[in-house]
């Protein structure tokens, strides 16, 4: 199975994480943990990867070029916007609306404007693009793969309803997700919950009847 957070998993493989460690870290970040065949395939795809020691000195050899070609340079080299990306990931009131908007093909600028209007912390456009690259690359999945993945996602049902009616549902769902648990940017981890901070249920207003 393919995942929209494929590159984050690839990053973890690159820095030398074992399979059970990757799964544990994914769960801690409220990401769907990859299964063993999925991980084996990702490792196979990265067969020519530099070693964890080589990435500590990216100017040697072709390491930097390899990272760039695989679109993994930002996280390994610690670019400034990565901190913002992780803020999006670990702030539920920001992450889920951003995911919904990306799913409905909103541009980074439109997402930024949405966050501003909702009183959320405004991520830069670069951070939104990098968030999509590492954690929500839904475009790289076929529709069938995306639907399969959304069945495992804690808010998958809601996202599927957005996919079914992008024009009518996107903004309503994104607003409801942005406003459901205050505006706290703090990240709370609940070990007893598979997906950590599952927020209270959301009531999304029905779209107005067609004129």
Q: Which of residues 137-176 bind other proteins (CB under 8 A)?
A: none
The contact mask relative to other proteins for 89-128 (x = CB under 8 A, - = no) is: -x--------------------------------------
Cα distance between residue 22 and residue 196, in whole Å: 16
**How far is residue 159's CA from residue 67's CA, in Å, rounded to a whole number?**
31
Q: How far apart are CA 178 and CA 175, in angstroms?
A: 5
Element (H, E) at 18: none
Stretch that binds other proteins, among 74-82, 98-106, 161-169, 203-211 (CB under 8 A): 74-82
- At its nearest, how many Å lie between other proteins and the CB of residue 8? 8
**Least spacing, CB of residue 130 vs other proteins, in Å:** 12
CB 131 within 8 A of CB 85: yes
What is the SS3 assignment for 50-75?
A: CCCCHHHCCCCCCHHHHHHHCCCHHH
Based on the shown chain and the rule CB under 8 A, indicate whether residue 189 belongs to the binding site for other proteins.
Answer: yes
Contacts to other proteins by CB under 8 A: 11-12, 15, 17, 20-21, 24-25, 27-29, 55-58, 75-78, 82-83, 86, 90, 187, 189, 191-192
């Amino acid at each position: 199975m393919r995942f929209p957070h494929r590159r984050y998993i690839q990053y973890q493989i690159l820095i030398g994480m074992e399979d059970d460690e990757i799964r544990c870290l994914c769960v801690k970040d409220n990401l769907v943990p990859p299964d063993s065949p999925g991980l084996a395939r990702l490792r196979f795809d990265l067969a020519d990867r530099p070693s964890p020691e080589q990435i500590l000195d990216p100017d040697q050899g072709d390491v930097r070029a390899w990272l760039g070609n695989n679109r993994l340079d930002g996280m390994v080299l610690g670019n400034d916007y990565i901190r913002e990306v992780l803020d999006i990931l670990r702030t539920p009131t920001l992450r889920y609306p951003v995911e919904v908007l990306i799913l409905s093909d909103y541009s980074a600028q439109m997402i930024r404007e949405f966050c501003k209007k909702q009183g959320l912390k405004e991520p830069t456009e670069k951070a939104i693009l990098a968030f999509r690259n590492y954690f929500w690359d839904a475009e790289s999945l076929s529709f069938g793969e995306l639907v399969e993945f959304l069945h495992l996602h804690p808010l998958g049902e809601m996202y599927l309803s957005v996919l079914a009616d992008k024009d009518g549902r996107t903004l309503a769902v994104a607003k409801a997700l942005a406003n459901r648990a205050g505006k706290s940017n703090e990240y709370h981890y609940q070990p007893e919950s598979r997906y950590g901070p599952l927020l209270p249920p959301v009531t999304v207003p029905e779209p107005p009847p067609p004129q």
